[in-house]
Amino acid sequence: MRIAIGSDSATDLTEALVSSLEARGHKLFFFGPMKVGEAERDWPLVATEVAQAVADGGVDEGIVCCWTGTGVSIAANKIPGIRCALAGDAETARGARIFNHANVLALSLRATSVPQMREILDAWFETSYLTGEAQNEWNREQIARIEALDRSSRP
């Protein structure tokens, strides 16, 4: 899978995240200081670059990080077609995939330990969107509402 990954700063967690993603065989595209030779960058810039790469189809999914994870998730969600979920545990990551069809994962650099990050990634990559017969009518309506919001925000 092609994954855009970005953070406003490089930390032990981002190092472990890159190692874990590479060990899973993903092709990574770096944004912000995770890109070799690039200095720290403001989180709204990094998050929107990652999200735009996903929205444009240049990558399959994205992962964004900042101190709380909240800022990057807010910024990423401003890009039409992006459903960024801040996950602090595996069950939240799993639910974001099943019920929200999340295509960008946000992580907190402050609150996420390396073991938690690995559990979150396991849940994220092992969980598919609920679609077709598996998806109930209520969930189809919610996804349709999100997609309608995307359409209404485009010029």
How buried is 79 (Cβ within 10 angstroms: 0-12 exposed, 13-18 middle, 19+ buried)?
Answer: buried
Which residues is 7 bridged to in the sheet?
A: 65
Strand-pairing partners, residue 134, are: none
Distance of CA 6 to the CA centre of its chain: 10
Spatial distance between the Cα atoms of 52 and 55, rounded to a whole number of angstroms: 5
For residue 38, what are its two tokens? 């690039």
Radius of gyration of the chain (CA): 15
Among 3, 13, 54, 66, the active-site one is 66
Residue 65 a catalytic site member: no
Q: CA 82, 106, 30, 19: dihedral to nearest 10 degrees?
A: -140
Q: What share of the chain is helix, strand, coil (3-state, %, to 5)?
A: 50, 15, 35
Residues acting as catalytic residues: 66
